[in-house]
Structure 1
Amino acid sequence: MVVSDFDDLLAANREFANDFNLSGFDGVAHAGIAIVTCMDSRIDPLRMLGLKPGDAKIFRNPGGRVTEAALEALVLGVHLLKVERILVVPHTRCAMASASETEIQERVGASAGQDASWHAFHVIENQEVALKTDVHKVQAHPLIPDTIKVGGFIYDVDTGLLNQLV
């Protein structure tokens, strides 16, 4: 048997599997929802919207930005997985919006013990402007039809509330 640095998580997974009831899901978004949000662990994308497993497609990345990979996921969601509404959801107190590119590179470099100035982290200078830009990217994509509803929201990590800005 392999001894693993992940034994605690594997044990938790076995507990999870004991009463696993999600077998047989078809993989579509049953509530017709797709969410692009940050990787921040304070965000519980399904619960914050009153959804459950199987209801939504979720794409997470630093800052909750609509990247090329996010657009790829959204196009697939719209055309193959029954997505009808898309929420773009960055959040308050985001590390990607609270420091400059240089500051993040220096912090990562200090942690890594090597220069990180060559790596782009794509910090967000103005969340509201970035959110409007990202919503427009989704709306303007040639493979996302006008019938798809797209909204831009800020999630408040201190209250749990969403504020629609776009």
Structure 2
Amino acid sequence: MTDTHDLISRNAVFAAERFTSGLRINPSGNMMVVGCVDPRVDPSHVLGLSLGEAAVIRNVGGRITPATLRTMAMLGKVGQANPEGRPEGDWNLVILHHTDCGMTDLAPYHDLLAEYFEIPVDELPDKAVSDPYESVRRDVDILLSELRGSQFLVTGLVYDVDTGVIDTVVPPTPLRTP
């Protein structure tokens, strides 16, 4: 079992050997990743991201929900308040779903999922909770419609927990203009 002592010891190694000082609040890589809380699928590890390279949002299933959109809006305001060091160019919003997701285990819990997605129960089939390839397409579509006119590219990826390989389901796609 990992306990607090283990965490403090690991942090001491991190601080001594891998810590990078001087990082800014804005990601250095013009990237935000939305991924699942599943401990097998840490977006920073599976995508090879460095500390400070991307903003990472994690939730159940890595889904684009109204709460995710609100979080993204808040992070946008933080970025606007801290313009120094903000890289030029388009931002890439990466949606990372994965195989063998626990979201599939929630499929029978219609009321719980409807509350999570903030939709009526009869709209749950539109969320494709049991198919990571289709769910990533649906979530990319939400971003493409919700964030129109912004300077973003949206990418949809699926990570295979058995092989460690990522499939590009939706290549970097510019947001539609209003």
TM-score normalised by L of structure 1:
0.73
Q: Does 1:151 align with 2:155?
A: yes
C-alpha contact (below 8 Å) 2:93/2:152 kept by paired residues:
yes
- Unaligned 5+ runs, structure 2: 81-85, 117-127, 171-178
C-alpha contact (below 8 Å) 1:34/1:56 kept by paired residues:
yes
C-alpha contact (below 8 Å) 1:25/1:54 kept by paired residues:
yes
Structure 1 residues 91 and 6, CA gap change in structure 2 (3 angstroms): same
Alpha-carbon distance in 1 for matches of 2:64, 2:166:
18
| Number of equivalences | 146
Alpha-carbon distance in 2 for matches of 1:85, 1:75:
15
C-alpha contact (below 8 Å) 1:34/1:77 kept by paired residues:
no
Counterpart AA for 2:46: M
Number of the residue aligned with 1:129: 134
Tell me the alpha carbon deviations over residues 8-31 of structure 1, each in whole angstroms, 9 at most, x when there is no partner: 222322332233532221111111
Number of the residue aligned with 2:8: 10
Secondary structure of the equivalent of 2:112?
coil
- Unaligned 5+ runs, structure 1: 103-116
Secondary structure of the equivalent of 1:85?
strand
Number of the residue aligned with 2:99: 92
Candidates 111, 120, 123, aligned match of 2:112: 120
Counterpart AA for 1:86: L
Q: Report sequence identity in percent.
A: 29
Q: Does 1:48 align with 2:53?
A: no
Computing the radius of gyration from Cα coordinates, the structure with the larger value is 1
Number of the residue aligned with 1:57: 55
TM-score normalised by L of structure 2:
0.68
